[in-house]
């Protein structure tokens, strides 16, 4: 089944404790992206990647890191999480040039205390 998977789905953590949210897709997509969704602000792009070893900042990259060592995986790293990073996070992927049809993962609900 074609899909984007994220882990964990839910996470409660404390300020400053490094964490990684994994994202994996099995559709051979070149393009992958991370979004956060907050009430009243909608989905905002954090980082994106056009292909292996090619990543770039989105609209709200502060406090986040990403890597793209393999085509299928695009982990999101929070080196020192803060409460303002409490949010719902979505990973998405698509073929290059087909950005309209991005396939989203199920989401990760993160709470930073």
Kindly list the residues in this chain that would bind another protein in the complex (CB under 8 A).
31, 33, 35, 40-45, 48, 50, 58, 88, 90, 99-102, 104-107, 109
For 69-100, the DSSP string reads: SSSSB--EEESS--GGG-EEEEEEEE-TT-TT
Query: What is the CB neighbour count within 10 angstroms for residue 19?
Result: 16
State the minimum distance, in angstroms, from the CB of residue 111 to another protein.
Answer: 14
State the minimum distance, in angstroms, from the CB of residue 25 to another protein.
Answer: 13
Which residue, 16 or 94, has its beta carbon nearer to another protein? Answer: 94
Which residue, 71 or 109, has its beta carbon nearer to another protein? Answer: 109
Give the Cα separation of 95 and 63 in Å (integer).
Answer: 27
Smallest CA-to-CA distance from 30 within 106, 103, 108, 107 is with: 103
State the minimum distance, in angstroms, from the CB of residue 80 to another protein.
Answer: 26
State the minimum distance, in angstroms, from the CB of residue 94 to another protein.
Answer: 9
């Amino acid at each position: 089944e074609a899909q984007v998977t994220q882990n964990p789905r839910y996470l409660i953590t404390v300020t400053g404790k490094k964490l990684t949210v994994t994202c994996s897709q099995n559709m051979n997509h070149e393009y992958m992206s991370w979004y956060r969704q907050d009430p009243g602000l909608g989905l905002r792009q954090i980082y994106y990647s056009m292909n292996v070893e090619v990543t770039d900042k989105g609209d709200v990259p502060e406090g986040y890191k990403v890597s793209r060592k393999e085509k299928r995986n695009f982990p999101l790293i929070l080196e020192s999480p803060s409460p303002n990073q409490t949010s719902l996070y979505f990973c998405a992927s698509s073929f290059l040039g087909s950005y309209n049809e991005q396939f989203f993962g199920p989401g990760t609900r993160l709470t930073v205390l």
